[in-house]
Copies of this chain bind each other. A is one copy, B any other.
Amino acid sequence: MQDFHIGKLVVVGVGLIGGSVAAALKRERLVDRVVGVGRSRANMQQALSAGVIDEQAQDLTSAARGAELVLVAVPVRQTASVLQQLRQAVADGVIVTDAGSTKRDFVHMARDIFGSSVKHVVPGHPIAGAERSGVAAATADLYTGKRVVLTPLPDNENKFVERVASMWRACGANVIQMSPEHHDAVFSAVSHLPHVLSYALVELIASRDNAEELFSFAAGGFRDFTRIAGSSPEMWRDICDANADQLLRDIDAFQQALSLLAGYIRSGDMDKVEAVFAAAARARNAWVNSLK
């Protein structure tokens, strides 16, 4: 970790995710210069004032010239346009990594845009909270003890992957590698499906005639269960779109599990209901205890 140092880092999208990488590397004096590229003038000004970036650039193509590494941390919808602007830099050997929540779509997009230069692109996904957004929420500690998944390509030379992994480790993260396919399957189950279920439940209740009364009787359990239904609709629409096939398989599996449980309740087979609940409670409590 100690031996990591980077010359010029370009961060595209200086929000919670990108800003926190810059903040961590700057705090540890592991980067010479951070150039920020972003669309919100106010946000970029704040990033400059806070010392998270050293300079801002309007033109990504020229900003990426001479950079050692470019971190793309923009909403999924902007990724294609950002990658287009990085074509020359990537052809010249600049390493590019990203922070998107789905990986197969990013790999596909990167291959389309970069062709054989894609060997310089190392897809990534930091597993860190996204409650708040913008550079104001960025912190040098965001990744401490958190996990970052890299989904390297067969085309990547190992040194490129290692360079990106080192950057994340320098931010305090633990780096794990897996295939893009496996990544998308894992996060469909533990993240995308729960979001869909939470949104669906809240919408079901909100659309009832007595919605106001129903919400007035909702308590702490409901609040926690539905916290993720307060997430950005645009971001989650894009995630559902990018991971549609895997997510649909998981929705289907969930519906089958729920139907089975409903069948037990309908037939008064309460021992089986209790067995399902008990297995879930055991697994959930064991997991939470393992986090302590």
In the bound complex, what is the Cα–Cα distance between A241 and B222 (angstroms)?
20
**What are 24 sample pairs from A and B whose C-beta atoms fall under 8 A apart?**
A147-B217, A187-B217, A189-B208, A189-B214, A190-B222, A191-B217, A191-B219, A195-B221, A197-B197, A200-B254, A200-B276, A200-B280, A202-B281, A202-B284, A203-B279, A203-B280, A206-B279, A206-B282, A215-B283, A230-B285, A237-B270, A237-B273, A244-B268, A247-B265
Chain B residue at smallest Cβ distance from A235: B277
Instruction: Please judge, given known A-B contacts A221-B227, A244-B265, A273-B240, whether A201 and B194 are in contact too, CB under 8 Å.
Output: yes
Contact string against B for A residues 126-144, beta-carbon threshold 8 Å, 1 for contact and 0 otherwise = 0111010000000000000
Instruction: Please judge, given known A-B contacts A223-B288, A224-B227, A281-B230, whether A258 and B189 are in contact too, CB under 8 Å.
Output: no
> A221: which of B194, B201, B288 is its contact (CB, 8 Å)?
B194
A50 within 8 A of B: no
A278 within 8 A of B: yes
> A227: which of B225, B265, B274 is its contact (CB, 8 Å)?
B225
Contact string against B for A residues 65-95, beta-carbon threshold 8 Å, 1 for contact and 0 otherwise = 0000000000000000000000000000000
Ordered nearest first, which 10 A-B pairs have the shortest CB separation? A206-B283, A233-B277, A202-B280, A233-B278, A237-B274, A203-B280, A224-B224, A190-B218, A221-B228, A199-B280
Contacts of A191 in B (CB 8 A): 217-219, 221-222
Q: Is the CB of A258 within 8 A of B196?
A: yes
A266 within 8 A of B: yes
Q: Is the CB of B237 within 8 A of A277?
A: yes
Counting every copy of the chain, the complex holds 2
In the bound complex, what is the Cα–Cα distance between A252 and B219 (angstroms)?
23
Q: Classify chain A's interface size.
A: 35 or more
Contacts of A284 in B (CB 8 A): 202, 206, 226, 229-230
Chain A binding site: helix, strand, loop or mixed by DSSP? Answer: helix
A1 within 8 A of B: no
In the bound complex, what is the Cα–Cα distance between A245 and B230 (angstroms)?
30
A45 within 8 A of B: no
Contacts of A259 in B (CB 8 A): 255
* 17 other A-B residue contacts (CB within 8 Å) besides A218-B287, A224-B228, A233-B277: A186-B210, A190-B222, A191-B218, A195-B221, A198-B280, A199-B277, A200-B257, A200-B261, A203-B257, A204-B254, A206-B282, A211-B283, A215-B290, A234-B274, A241-B270, A244-B268, A255-B258
